[in-house]
C-alpha cells in the first residue's frame, strides 16, 4: 500500500449534530497505516498491513512501513512470522 501522508476526507453523516462514521476493513487499514506512518516521520511511504484475530479476544494489527524506495523490503516481510515473533508494542498491552 502506497501512502502520501495525506488523509482524504471521508463521507460522514451527521445525526443530531454529531459526525458518524462507518468504515470497512480497507478503510480501517488505510486510516491506521496513514496515522502510524505519519507518527513515525514518514511523508511518502510503502506499507503492508493486516488485521487479525477476533474482536474482544485477540484482535490486532500487523504492519510494516518504510520509505517508498523500501517497497521490496516491506513487501517481502512475512506478516505471519512477524505475528509469531513480535511482542505487542502499543501503549495498551
Q: Give the distance, in angstroms, between the CA of residue 6 and the centroid of all CA atoms in the same chain.
A: 14
**Is the pLDDT reported for residue 31 higher than 60?**
yes
Q: What is the model's pLDDT at position 41?
A: 95
List pLDDT tens digits, range 55-86: 999 999 999 999 999 899 999 999 999 999 99
DSSP for 12-25 reads -EEETTEEE----H
Q: Look up the pTM and report it.
A: 0.76
Amino acid at each position: 500500500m502506497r501512502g502520501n501522508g495525506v488523509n482524504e476526507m471521508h463521507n460522514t453523516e451527521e445525526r443530531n449534530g454529531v459526525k458518524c462514521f462507518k468504515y470497512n476493513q480497507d478503510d480501517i487499514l488505510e486510516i491506521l497505516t496513514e496515522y502510524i506512518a505519519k507518527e513515525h516521520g514518514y511523508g511518502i511511504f510503502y506499507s503492508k498491513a493486516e488485521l487479525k484475530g477476533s474482536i474482544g479476544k485477540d484482535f490486532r494489527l500487523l504492519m510494516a512501513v518504510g520509505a517508498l524506495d523500501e517497497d521490496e523490503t516491506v513487501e517481502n516481510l512475512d506478516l505471519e512470522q512477524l505475528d509469531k515473533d513480535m511482542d505487542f508494542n502499543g501503549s495498551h498491552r
